Amino acid sequence: MNIVFLDGYTINPGDLTWQPLEALGHLTVYDRTEPDEVLERATGAEVLIVNKTCLTASHFDALKSLKLVCVAATGYDRIDTEAARRQGVVVCNCAGYSSLSVAQMVVSLLLEAFDSVGFYAERNRRGAWSDSPDFCYTVKPRVELAGKRMAIVGFGNIGRTVARIMQAFGLQLFAVSSKEAHELPDGVQKITLDEAFATCDIVSLNCPLTPQNRGFVNAGLLARANPRLVLVNTARGALVDEQAVAGALSQGRLGAYCTDVLTQEPPAPDCPLLSAPNCYITPHIGWDTIEARRRILDILVDNIRAFQSGSPVSVVN
């Protein structure tokens, strides 16, 4: 079986082994693939593995040997899954591999917003504490998480993991979810999106990106939101209208925006969030622990083996 991985570098920059995939067939791995290189590199592949490389209808029309696409991620919004289905190509993803890592990033972003660890560490490297007349150097207030109201938008694997971790901090937890109230775990109450933004201190976005929810965090929703709200996004950048979020931050109508994802990645230098106040941005690394990347490789192997046996799993189309 001819297996081609179009953008393998972020999954394995050299600290893991490709051997389990090599055992399944002839494996070719490219670190990165530009859009105009996809067809040339993918021609003849029976199995195509992609992380963030886009696959369009024209690709599926042209790749006559292709039988299986394995997305080395949970989200598959960069794949035209309907076009793949029309051509008889199975598309599988790697759901669940990153729940612990992404939930950990939610906590990290929140603690930075509430405790300013990075801010103080940088100030102290410049001598701010050394120059302080007091034993404690304080320029930004810290706030306890205990007792705060937190809503989780999207209650899949990651959302559930976030809730489980945040319970230990003593927060009041809510979920904006298609699940019924009785399906939610103890200590998590169902809430509407408007109620979450208007009444909660923290909202965490942990839902997939779909055509229906693209840009749903917009100027209208933010106008109805708690002006002290801390918004966390470890899902997809395009869930929010970044110009509206930057405007709300600049005008004091949003407490903070903590995000690991942007609409354009890497961001353009003029991305409005890069210069917005109280905006904490990490470079899409929430999923990127060695443990999570090892799980991706294990799931890829399982998905290809299952397809070879005639019983594909993790199918999204």
Active site residues: 236, 265, 284
- Dist. CA 202–CA 163, nearest whole Å: 12
The answer to whether residues 223 and 253 touch, using CB atoms and an 8 Å cutoff, is: yes
- Dist. CA 106–CA 101, nearest whole Å: 9
Q: Helix axis angle, 117-125 relative to 99-115, nearest 10°?
A: 60
- Structure tokens given for 49: 């593995």
> What is the three-class DSSP state of 3?
strand
- Dist. CA 306–CA 197, nearest whole Å: 42
Determine phi and psi for 61, rounding to 5 degrees. -65, -35
Give the CA radius of gyration of the chain. Answer: 22
- Dist. CA 232–CA 280, nearest whole Å: 9
- Dist. CA 24–CA 20, nearest whole Å: 7
- Amino acid found at 33: T
